[in-house]
Amino acid sequence: MTYIILSAGKGVKLQPLTLNHPKSLYKLDDKNTILQRLVRKIRMYDENAEIVVVVGYMYKQIQKELEDDNVKFVHNPFYSVTSSMGSLWFAKDYLQRENVTIINGDIVASDKLMSDIVSQHTDYPYVLLDSAHKDANKYNVQVQGGLVCVMSKNLTEFEGNYASITKLDAVSSRFLLEQLNQMVNEEMYNLFFEDALVQMIFQNNFELYYKDIKDYKWTEVDCVDDLLKARQIQIESEN
């Protein structure tokens, strides 16, 4: 399976911690940064994984950090003026694989989540949401009848926080590629790539499913509290 890890951003919310290095290179312990841990957990549960890391901000540091981890790099030179839409577009060739998992490079997930869901192949497209977390300031997911109906940071009602992990089969990944090309050509590269999924739902009746991971431990590192939670997840995985 192919994993596209989006790790091009500047981590502005964590400044000044991210002024000298990307937040994905924050050390969880003596052996692993956030990004190293993600790559190594993927490899642990999917030994044949094709891992692609999209880099931008201080990309040479990330390349050096992962030089022994058998990953491929895609460089987004316009990371400062694009969002994940632009970053994923630069990795568009990898959306033509049979099974694709798109995941943010600042995700720290428990071994159980990595083994049960993240590393598993899928026959249909779905996103992960956590109904136990309902922070209105996050990117959230509203559902209806087993399907995602909208994803946005501007929802007053929603099922849960989006866990920044999307899994696609061969058909849906190519459909997303077409939508990305259209939106980038229309200069919408400063949006989240998930906004392309929403457009597919609205314009083409695209059926996007979801899985609730409320019983799993995970965090997306956006603030100092998230760093502490990430370290705790790492400690538990080593015990």
Q: Is the pLDDT of residue 84 over 80?
A: yes
Distance CA 54, CA 90 (A): 8
Work out the average pLDDT over 140-153: 96
Distance of CA 96 to the CA centre of its chain: 18
Task: Specify the pairing of strand 209-212 against strand 126-130.
Answer: parallel
Work out the average pLDDT over 12-39: 82
pLDDT given at position 130:
97
Are residues 167 and 97 in contact, defined by beta-carbon separation less than 8 angstroms?
no
User: Could you report the per-residue pLDDT of 162-205, keeping only the tens digit for each?
Assistant: 999 999 999 999 999 999 999 999 999 999 999 999 999 999 99
Work out the average pLDDT over 215-221: 95
Confidence class for position 15, pLDDT limits 50, 70, 90 = low
Q: What type of residue is 77?
A: P
Q: Please tell me the pTM assigned to this model.
A: 0.96
Distance CA 30, CA 36 (A): 11
Contacts of 5 (CB under 8 A, 6+ apart): 35, 38, 39, 51, 52, 53, 54, 103, 104, 105
Cβ neighbourhood burial of 5 (10 Å; 0-12, 13-18, 19+): buried
- Beta bridge partner(s), residue 181: none
Least Cα distance to 128 among 136, 139, 137, 233 occurs for 139
Q: Which tokens belong to 154? A: 């501007």
